[in-house]
Structure 1
Amino acid sequence: FDDDARLRTSTYARSASYVDGQWVLSGIRQTEVAEHGVVARQIEQASWNSVLRPELLSIVAVKPEILSVWSLVRYIEYLDSNNLETRLYQHAMWAKIFYPAATAVMVFLAVPLVLSSSSRSVSMGRRVMLGFLIGLAFHVINTASGNLGAVVDLSPLASAAAPTLLALLVGMVMLRRTA
Structure 2
Amino acid sequence: MRILDFYIGKILVRHIVVTIMVLLGLFTFVSFIDELSNLDKGSYGILEVFQYVLLLIPKTLYEVFPMAALIGSILGLSTLARDSELIVMRAAGVSILRIVLSVVKVGIIMAFVAMILGEVVSPYTQTKAEQVKLGAIQSNIRQKDDFGVWMRDENTYVNIGEVLPNLTLLNIKIFEFDERNFLRFLSTAEEGEYQLDKRRWLLKGLSRTMIDDNSSAADEVSAAYWTTGVDPNILRVFQIDPEQLSLWQLDKYIDHLGSNKQDTRSYELVFWSKVITPFATIVMLILAVPFVFKESRSGNLGRSLFFGIMIGLSFFIMNKAFGYFVALFSIPPMLGAALPTLIVSLLSIILIRRII
Q: Same fold (TM over 0.5)?
A: yes
- Given that 2:172 and 2:188 are in contact with CA atoms closer than 8 Å, whether structure 1 keeps it comes out as yes
- Residue 176 of structure 1 pairs with residue 353 of structure 2: yes
- Residue 27 of structure 1 pairs with residue 170 of structure 2: no
Counterpart Cα distance in 2 of 1:133 and 1:156: 25
Offset at 1:128? 1.8
Q: 1:61 aligns with which of 222, 232, 239?
A: 239
1:15 aligned partner: 158
- The verdict on how the C-alpha distance between 1:17 and 1:137 changes in structure 2, with shifts beyond 3 A counting, is closer
- For the residue of structure 2 that corresponds to 1:85, the secondary structure is coil
Counterpart Cα distance in 2 of 1:95 and 1:128: 26
Counterpart Cα distance in 2 of 1:89 and 1:127: 36
Kindly tell me the number of residue pairs found equivalent between the two proteins.
145
- Which has a greater percent of helix? 2
Offset at 1:131? 1.1
Counterpart Cα distance in 2 of 1:93 and 1:170: 25
Q: 1:155 aligns with which of 332, 339, 344?
A: 332
Q: Which TM-score applies when normalising by structure 2?
A: 0.36
Q: Spell out, residue by residue over 1:23-75, the C-alpha distance to the aligned partner (whole angstroms, 9 max, x if none).
A: 654228xxxxxxxxxxxxx952245567xxxxxx9x95353234322332222
- For the residue of structure 1 that corresponds to 2:330, the secondary structure is coil
Of structures 1 and 2, the one with the larger relative CO (CA 8 A, separation 6+) is 2
Counterpart Cα distance in 2 of 1:160 and 1:105: 15
Letter of the 1:161 counterpart: A
Q: Spell out, residue by residue over 1:72-107, the C-alpha distance to the aligned partner (whole angstroms, 9 max, x if none).
A: 222211210111110011111111111101111111
Letter of the 2:253 counterpart: Y
Structure-to-structure mapping, 1:46-125, within 5 angstroms: 46-48=187-189, 60-116=238-294, 118-125=295-302
Q: Spell out, residue by residue over 1:108-132, the C-alpha distance to the aligned partner (whole angstroms, 9 max, x if none).
A: 111111222x414334332222211
Counterpart Cα distance in 1 of 2:159 and 2:330: 38
- Residue 139 of structure 1 pairs with residue 316 of structure 2: yes
2:79 aligned partner: none
Counterpart Cα distance in 2 of 1:83 and 1:17: 19
Counterpart Cα distance in 2 of 1:60 and 1:71: 17
Tell me the C-alpha RMSD between the 2 structures.
Answer: 3.0
Uncovered stretches (5+) of structure 1, i.e. residues with no partner: 1-11, 29-41, 51-56
Uncovered stretches (5+) of structure 2, i.e. residues with no partner: 1-152, 162-170, 178-182, 192-234
- For the residue of structure 2 that corresponds to 1:101, the secondary structure is helix
Counterpart Cα distance in 1 of 2:238 and 2:251: 13
Counterpart Cα distance in 2 of 1:121 and 1:128: 14
Counterpart Cα distance in 2 of 1:147 and 1:161: 14
Counterpart Cα distance in 1 of 2:292 and 2:160: 59
- Given that 2:326 and 2:332 are in contact with CA atoms closer than 8 Å, whether structure 1 keeps it comes out as yes
Q: 1:44 aligns with which of 173, 185, 201?
A: 185
Q: 2:305 aligns with which of 125, 128, 139?
A: 128
Letter of the 2:186 counterpart: Q
- For the residue of structure 2 that corresponds to 1:90, the secondary structure is helix
Q: Which TM-score applies when normalising by structure 1?
A: 0.67
- For the residue of structure 2 that corresponds to 1:26, the secondary structure is strand
- For the residue of structure 1 that corresponds to 2:159, the secondary structure is strand
Identity %: 35
